[in-house]
Amino acid sequence: MAEVKASMAPAAQREITEAYVFLQANCVLSKDRASESKASRDLRYTAMIDGLSEYPKDLVLHTLRNWHKTSMWVPVAAEVIQKIEREASMRKSLLECLENAPYRGEKRRTESKGRSYADYTDEEKAAHDARSARVLEMLRSTGEGMKM
């Protein structure tokens, strides 16, 4: 569970700013946005950086640093958030499941009509543990592949 919690840590605003500057150096502004005032542009940049600081560091930095590989245009915040939202939501769901999951021999943290881990047969526990190990390995390998 600690690994999943760690994967939810947000990037510092300085890191997001650096990655966003890299994105801008590799992409082109649309004509409408290229002609906007400096105050408007600064406000948009600040809003994007603030918005992205709510998401996991590796997802934000990977998306910003690799945007130019799939698009030549500088994105608006909604485009970037849409790109990272699915993965971030899956991590949030996984963390919630892990936090609410019963541990061997312990009672459930929340009341539920379903069976608890303690009610499983040894065979069911082994199958559950094997599935959990595969999911954690998948998360580890995905995280290692996204390291910058």
Q: Is the pLDDT of residue 110 over 60?
A: no
Q: What average pLDDT does range 108-121 have in this prediction?
A: 69
The three-point CA angle 86-89-95 to 5° equals 145
Q: Is the pLDDT of residue 79 over 90?
A: yes
User: Could you state, in order of their start, the residue ranges of all structural domains in the chain?
Assistant: 13-100
What distance in Å separates the CA atoms of residue 54 and residue 2, rounded to the nearest whole number?
19
pLDDT band for position 130 (cuts 50, 70, 90): confident
What pLDDT does residue 148 have?
47
Q: Is the pLDDT of residue 70 over 60?
A: yes
Q: Is the pLDDT of residue 66 over 90?
A: yes
Its sign, for the CA torsion 115, 138, 69, 39, is positive
Q: Is the pLDDT of residue 145 over 80?
A: no
Decide which of 29 and 100 is more confident. 29
Decide which of 107 and 120 is more confident. 120
DSSP 69-96: GT-SBPPPHHHHHHHHHHHHHHHHHHHH
What pLDDT does residue 35 have?
86
Question: Please, are residues 18 and 60 in contact by the beta-carbon 8 Å criterion?
Answer: no
Q: What average pLDDT does range 64-89 have in this prediction?
A: 93
